[in-house]
Amino acid sequence: MADIVNGMRIFVRVVETGSFTAVAKENDVTAAQVSHAVTTLEEQLQTVVLHRTTRHLSLTESGGRFYERAKAILADLDAATDEARNASVLAADRVRLHCAPGLAQNLVAAALVSYQAAHSEVHVELKVEQSMPNLVEDGYDLSLISATQLPDSVYVAQPLSTAYSVMIASPGYLESNAMPRTCDDLASHTLLELESPVAPPDEWLVASGK
């Protein structure tokens, strides 16, 4: 497929410039290579598209029809390619976003207000829930979660920032239970944690302590 598209491009430029040599200079190849590309295209099409003499090039009847179709096909292909390349740069018409509750309340809501002020043409749908959705099946564009690690998947993950939690206890609890002095002491205490949709259960990562 790539060969015939390349052949179409060369053929169209030969018709437009009227010269193998001119197209050869455009592509930094020899005129013989351009001629060979057109010949290969004719073999693939099983028809002659150009009449060649030492001084003149002219379209055959089938070559004229193919030239018009080839121009339209290449224009559509180039437009589709440009659209795909710009998809990650240009804002979409709609963005569906999933977010964990804590992030939504503290950070994301304010960020979305600023984003929509800059991109008023974009409609943002925000769903706030603790569970992790299936992004593809549920039709989400992205998900913002807080996690120490992510499960293996085909999703593309990008760290945005680092957050820390603080371990606390109520005065009443400490009156009934000894104050923990080391991480090992936590094994004899009742601990509550917010369930993560992605992190392993019963896993605590303590950044400091003795």
Q: Among residues of the chain, what percentage have pLDDT more than 70?
A: 87
pLDDT tens by residue, 157-189: 788 887 777 888 999 999 898 888 888 888 888
Contacts 24+ apart (CB under 8 A), 182-189: 182/209, 182/210, 183/209, 183/210
Look up residue 130 and give its two tokens: 């603790």
Determine contact, residues 181/187, Cβ cutoff 8 Å.
no
Burial class (CB in 10 A: 0-12, 13-18, 19+), 67: buried
What pLDDT does residue 92 have? 61
What pLDDT does residue 208 have? 65
Q: CA 29 to CA 25: how far, in whole Å?
A: 6
Q: CA 16 to CA 119: how far, in whole Å?
A: 42
With respect to CATH, is domain 2-85 assigned 1.10.580.10? no
Q: How far is CA 152 from the centre of its chain?
A: 18
Look up residue 185 and give its two tokens: 């002491």
Is residue 206 pLDDT above 80, yes or no? no
pTM reported for the whole predicted model = 0.46
Determine contact, residues 21/31, Cβ cutoff 8 Å.
yes
Q: Among residues of the chain, what percentage have pLDDT more than 90?
A: 33
Q: Which residues contact 199 (CB under 8 A, 6 or more apart)?
A: 147, 148, 149
What pLDDT does residue 155 have? 77
Q: Which residues contact 129 (CB under 8 A, 6 or more apart)?
A: 98, 100, 101
